[in-house]
Amino acid sequence: MRRRTFVSALGTGVVVSLAGCTGDDDGSENGNGSNGNGDGGNGNGNGGNGNGDTETPTETPTENGDDGMENGEDDGATTNGEESTLTVGTYSAFLDAPSISPGEWLKEEFESTVDATLKWDAPENEVNHYIERQLAGEGSGADMYVGLNVDQLVRVDDELDDALFAEAGDVAGRDQVKPGLSFDPDGRAIPYDTGYICPVYDGTAIEAPETFDGLLDEEYRGDLITQDPAASATGRAFLLHTVHQYGADGYLDYWADLQDNDVRVLGSWSDAYGAWSEGEAPMVVSYSTDQVFAAGNDANLEKHQIRFLDDEGYANPEGMALFSDANEPDLAREFMGFVLQPEIQGEIAERNVQFPATDNAELSPDYDELAHEPPEPVTFTYEELQGSISEWIEDWERQFAQQ
């Protein structure tokens, strides 16, 4: 990758940068940025970097750190006496959404235990943003990502020739992660929580069916709302659950029957849940932690019943992973270890309204009572999804939306 330095223009944000400033004009288009090591390219605050510009970098200092990890060197300790900054990418709901955003708390806790600053970054396109950056020859601009799904990891590996994420390495507490949740065969992504997706129903209106087949009964005509698998994690999980249940050869037939029984497939989770809340249908695909919110709003819990079809819930573990061009890999590992600590695990789960990923997490009894775990969690592994998930979704789209 071409090294570049971002200089200038704070307020307006017009960033002009000069490529090839320190003598690597055209030569190092490819690869490992090996000639970037000489001038401490990964350092913090090396804004000048040969351009003679006096302005401060607007981008994070990690911007010019495409070097480093590839060379196997451990650059993590280059704090030079300054407090180091850990830049963590995530999805916006982790930071912003009312009632499900542990980001702020996590930052405070981490900074109070470690002599470092945590900088959150929530690009609109989530992981795709970092894939785009890599495709464009930019560095990732961050040290790690929090909130990675298995299907996103599959996409990352499909699209990029060079690794976006690095093997996590030695992270404290890693052994405590529940075996069923680890979804990365290459050991890059470490799960930190999981959700279970299943229908939520209004028990005052219906008694939900026990099985997937039951959803096809005339009795439940028009009763289920789910979401577009391309636009919503819950919709995708539900579709994958049907593939898991009926096999790649049978799920389309099941969906044909489901469509005949007037299932509604709306766009986002909020579209679907909003319609369900207004009583447009008695069942909606959502999270098995639904009662936690209901109790928080003094709602009638009878209206927020959970049904694990065939006693199963589809697990959607969220992972964290280190970018391969991270400036602060050690700090990132420290953060991952921090997140896996029992009391932090319990707190993240409750704040994110999910379940912890480790087997020794500390959950409050109240929470445990309202958040339901399925008797049999199911999910697809990385290997099973690789090369298949796109096709499954596309085949489903082409059947469901045929005009």
What is the closest distance, in whole angstroms, from the C-beta atom of residue 316 to other proteins in the complex?
15
Whole-angstrom Cα distance, residue 98 to residue 325?
Answer: 32
Beta strand ranges found along 261-397 (DSSP E): 264-266, 283-287, 305-306, 312-323, 355-356, 376-378
CB atoms under 10 Å from CB of 162, counted, come to 11
Q: Does 56 bind other proteins (CB under 8 A)?
A: no
Q: Does 205 bind other proteins (CB under 8 A)?
A: no
Whole-angstrom Cα distance, residue 281 to residue 94?
Answer: 29
Q: Does 55 bind other proteins (CB under 8 A)?
A: no
Q: Does 161 bind other proteins (CB under 8 A)?
A: no
| The residue to which tokens 């990675």 are assigned | 148
Nearest to 321 by CA among 138, 77, 143: 143
Q: Note the Cα 131 to chain centre separation in Å.
A: 14
Q: Does 267 bind other proteins (CB under 8 A)?
A: yes
- Of residues 345-384, which lie at the interface with other proteins (CB under 8 A)? 353
Structural contact between residues 39 and 50, judged by C-beta atoms closer than 8 angstroms: yes
Collect all residues with Cβ–Cβ distance below 8 Å to 202 and sequence separation of at least 6: 276, 279, 282, 283, 302, 303, 304, 305
Structural contact between residues 161 and 270, judged by C-beta atoms closer than 8 angstroms: no
Output the furthest CA–CA distance in the chain (Å, rounded): 74
- Of residues 271-310, which lie at the interface with other proteins (CB under 8 A)? 271, 273-275, 277-280, 287, 293-294, 297-300
What is the closest distance, in whole angstroms, from the C-beta atom of residue 4 to other proteins in the complex?
6
Q: Please say which residue, 280 or 362, places its beta carbon nearer to other proteins.
A: 280
Interface with other proteins (CB under 8 A), residue from 114, 116, 216, 230: 230
Site string for other proteins, 13-52 (x = CB under 8 A): xxxxxxxx----x---------------------------
| Total residues at interface with other proteins (CB under 8 A) | 75
Q: Does 388 bind other proteins (CB under 8 A)?
A: no
- Of residues 105-124, which lie at the interface with other proteins (CB under 8 A)? 107, 119-120, 122, 124
What is the closest distance, in whole angstroms, from the C-beta atom of residue 126 to other proteins in the complex?
10
